[in-house]
A and B are shown apart, each in its own frame.
Chain A
Amino acid sequence: DIVMIQSPDSLAVSLGERATINCKASQSVLSTSNKKNYLAWYQQKPGQPPKVLIYWASTRESGVPDRFSGSGSGTDFTLTISSLQAEDVAVYYCQQYYGTKTFGQGTKVEI
């Protein structure tokens, strides 16, 4: 199975500042046939299920604020929150769907 490792495990960011979360896959999740990266990002707030933010590594889900962006290819990916808002306090997960679906361990974002 593809192992997903996120860094850092937690980070504290001031309101209005940038937050950057990294995700590394143990093998490439880039399809050579369609040139798509099979990588999604989720946000989970306490007591709620995960909510998809980004899929295909950089496609923002409908309704997700544009301060959230995804980048990267192959094995290395980044989720960026350009200007942290109070409502962005949550745990963020990356997930690959290239092989048997697996998640990163999560990154807790605090203010």
Chain B
Amino acid sequence: EAQLVESGGGLVQPGGSLRISCAASGFSFSHESMSWVRQTPGKGLEWVANTNADGSEKNYVDSVKGRFTISRDNAKNSLYLQMNSLRAEDTAVYYCSKEAYHFDYWGHGTLVTVSS
């Protein structure tokens, strides 16, 4: 069965940077599109970014364009999200998710807190 384990979350100051990671196992990672989805108490669930199987296509929600970069290393079965110029409103639990049009597998998430 597919497993996704996020890591790298933490406390960061406004304007700072953070990279979160997702380790995948139990499926053929290099053949699957992957997404980051975040959740806040106020805004609920929000899709953030996705990438296709070989990483050649990347898409972002408007609010993170130019600040966040999604990437993947298929040799390491890993997905990443580089987050720059972080804002208080980026505070959320970030989930890594496998895409099959819908999101069919989710990790347990990593908490990113942006605060001074």
Which A residues have a C-beta under 8 Å from some C-beta of B?
38, 40, 42, 48-52, 55, 61, 93, 95, 97, 100-106
* Given A49-B95, A100-B61; A40-B47 close (CB under 8 Å): no
A103, B106: Cβ atoms under 8 Å?
A: no
A38, B106: Cβ atoms under 8 Å?
A: no
Q: Complex Cα distance A50/B107, Å?
A: 9
A93, B45: Cβ atoms under 8 Å?
A: yes
Task: Tell me which of B61, B95, B102, B107 has the highest count of chain A C-beta atoms within 10 A of its own C-beta.
Answer: B102
Q: Which of A38, A52, A104 contacts B104 (CB 8 A)?
A: A52
A50, B104: Cβ atoms under 8 Å?
A: no
Q: Complex Cα distance A97/B97, Å?
A: 14
Q: Which of B45, B59, B100 contacts A103 (CB 8 A)?
A: B45
The closest CB in chain A to the CB of B60 belongs to A100
Q: From residue 42 to 72 of chain B, which have CB atoms closer than 8 A to chain A? A: 44-47, 59, 61
A48, B108: Cβ atoms under 8 Å?
A: yes
For chains A and B in complex, what number of residue pairs have CB atoms within 8 angstroms?
Answer: 44
* Given A49-B95, A51-B106; A103-B44 close (CB under 8 Å): yes
Which B residues have a C-beta under 8 Å from some C-beta of A?
35, 44-47, 59, 61, 95, 100-104, 106-109
A103, B95: Cβ atoms under 8 Å?
A: no
B61 to chain A, nearest CB (A): 7
A49, B109: Cβ atoms under 8 Å?
A: yes
A50, B108: Cβ atoms under 8 Å?
A: no
B108, A102: Cβ atoms under 8 Å?
A: no
B103, A106: Cβ atoms under 8 Å?
A: no
The closest CB in chain B to the CB of A36 belongs to B101
B44 to chain A, nearest CB (A): 5
Q: Complex Cα distance A48/B109, Å?
A: 9
B102, A95: Cβ atoms under 8 Å?
A: yes
A106, B104: Cβ atoms under 8 Å?
A: no
Q: Top 8 nearest A-B pairs by Cβ distance?
A: A49-B106, A40-B102, A101-B47, A103-B45, A55-B102, A97-B101, A105-B44, A49-B95
